[in-house]
A = this chain, B = another copy of it.
């Protein structure tokens, strides 16, 4: 527990890409110092009573405010932090908002899929059709992102950018062998710019 009284408390892990999204948003918004982190281990098989008490789904990140209010999932936490700081990660309305939220859903949906893909690969008897399904959807997602990359570079910096950047960072971390940059120069260039932001450099992808 590294929080202080009155601070927010975040169920945290250095390996979760969803926690990383929240911490990058916090750095973008100048709020990182107000968030104390609690190292919380979650797994498909080992119950963790500490997280279940705050979030019965048992997922991280989960944020506990100073008054005891609990917030999840990662998208809700990010929107709360953006409102708290008066930020611009979540455009307030109109097409800019729907584009940012659609990109955020694409990034988080991609991450959900990659995490399930990784579980499947690690099973004693992986299902070949399921593995093939993940491979096809990952290729479709990367193709769509290559098409969208030029627009990403011109649309400011929203929660959609954070989510997509975290998904690409997770690919580098857990699926390096995919070589996702091959044949996708626009997306690779965008990811390079993302990785160079101070908020992103402040929250490196890391193992324990």
Contact = CB atoms under 8 A, between A and B. Distances in A.
Contact of A93 (B83, B109, B136): B83
A interface bracket (residues with beta carbon within 8 Å of B): 35 or more
Contacts of A172: none
A196 to B, nearest CB: 26
A71 B44 contact: no
Interface string A118-132: 000001110101101
Interface stretch (A21-29, A73-81, A150-158, A182-190): A73-81
Nearest to A45: B129
A128 to B, nearest CB: 9
Nearest to A137: B58
B70 A109 contact: no
A110 interface: yes
A143 B112 CA distance: 26
A87 to B, nearest CB: 14
Interface of A: 43-47, 52, 56-59, 69-73, 75-76, 79-80, 83, 93, 95, 98, 101-102, 104-106, 109-110, 112-113, 116, 123-125, 127, 129-130, 132-133, 136-137, 140-141, 143-144
